Structure 1
Amino acid sequence: MKGNLHIEKKLVECITDNKEAFYRLAYSYVKNENDAVDILQDSIQKAISSKRHIKNEQYIKSWFYRIVVNTSLDFLKKQKKLMFVDEEALESYADGVENQYSNIDLERALESLSLKYRSVIILRYFEDLKIEEVAEILNENPNTIKTRLTKALKLLRIQMA
């Protein structure tokens, strides 16, 4: 029981310390302020109810990233639609951080990518995660992520040209 409380405390601490990054990740999938907040709330609920599955607290952050990604993908499957970027909403949640999506051409190019390519770009470059972390979050082999990243960058270059 004591270990469970410790894990829950670490989980809450992780979510609190990284809430803007988790929000940006959810927002990058759904492109809607309210939906991103709903996804975060659902993700927090799922994480707290599944905290017993955390075996090593050093993986809490990537474990929660995976929950946010999966919850976002589930939302998109239910909605079966993509929404346009509301740049003002994104800026309001950046909390003083420079808007990483300010280049409209890059935004459009990212939107043209399939989710599997967009996910690796967002997690690797916008969330500044290591290849191994991206692989863990997306539940893929690191070599698969490297291949997807190379392909995604190639597709982005074509779109931007």
Structure 2
Amino acid sequence: MEKYIRKARKGNADAFLKILEHYKEDLYRIAFVYVKNEADALDIMQEVAYRSFKSIHQLNETAYLKTWLTRITINCSVDLLKKSQHLSFFEEIPEAEFEFEADHIMKMTLEDLLKILSVEEKTVILLRYYEQYTFQEIANLLDIPLGTAKTTVYRALKTLRQSMIERGSTDE
């Protein structure tokens, strides 16, 4: 991957395409989770390709290539949502499920998750449990302190736990 990055920094489009090809499925999945439809996710992928090719010279640490591309993908996704004023996220999400490390194992559909969390909380939960990033990787990716990344995850888990408790009392 290092040789492709060196070539891409010099403007080699073929090398850059090989980089994107390597990460396209992960990046597409992130985009799709944000915008919930194929057309918008593909638009985001085009924007990610444009922005990342234009600014690949800004990538200081090649070990963080995937993190850097993921951050661009998240930013493009949020930008598209703001532009189209679709601030109500994920009304019809496939039945993907998350498992959380909490006091006990909880399962919620992705749709449930995204209805009750803020954008910041959604982002860290998706990165932590869907993309399997560590807290440090999340902090680096979002350019926030490590403590903030942990706090946001724990706050989101607390919100989810509370929602589960409330559902349990209303389902009976």
Q: Is the 8 A contact 2:135 2:149 kept in 1?
A: yes
Unaligned runs of 5+ residues in structure 1 are 92-98
Q: How does 1:12-23 map to 2 (within 5 A)?
A: 12-23=17-28
- Partner of 1:95 in structure 2? none
- Partner of 2:62 in structure 1? 57
Report the CA distance between 1:15 and its aligned residue.
2.6
What is the DSSP-based 3-state SS (H/G/I as helix, E as strand, rest coil) of the residue aligned with 1:144?
Answer: helix
- Matched residue count: 149
- Partner of 2:81 in structure 1? 76
Higher relative contact order (CA 8 A, sep 6+): 1
Alignment RMSD, CA only? Answer: 2.4
- Partner of 1:45 in structure 2? 50
How big is each residue's C-alpha offset from its partner over 1:13-41, in whole Å with a ceiling of 9 and x where there is no partner? Answer: 44322222211111121112211111111
Q: 1:107 and 2:111 equivalent?
A: yes
- Sequence identity percentage: 34
Structure with the higher strand share, 1 or 2: 2
**Structure with max Cα Rg:** 2
Q: How does 1:1-161 map to 2 (within 5 A)?
A: 4-5=6-7, 7=9, 12-81=17-86, 82=88, 83-87=90-94, 99-100=96-97, 105-161=109-165
Q: Normalization by structure 2: what TM-score?
A: 0.75
Rounded Cα–Cα distance in structure 1 between residues aligned with 2:64 and 2:15: 11
What is the letter of the counterpart of residue 144 of structure 2?
E
Runs of 4+ displaced beyond 3 Å: 6-14, 103-106
What is the letter of the counterpart of residue 64 of structure 2?
Y
Unaligned runs of 5+ residues in structure 2 are 99-106, 166-172
Q: Normalization by structure 1: what TM-score?
A: 0.80
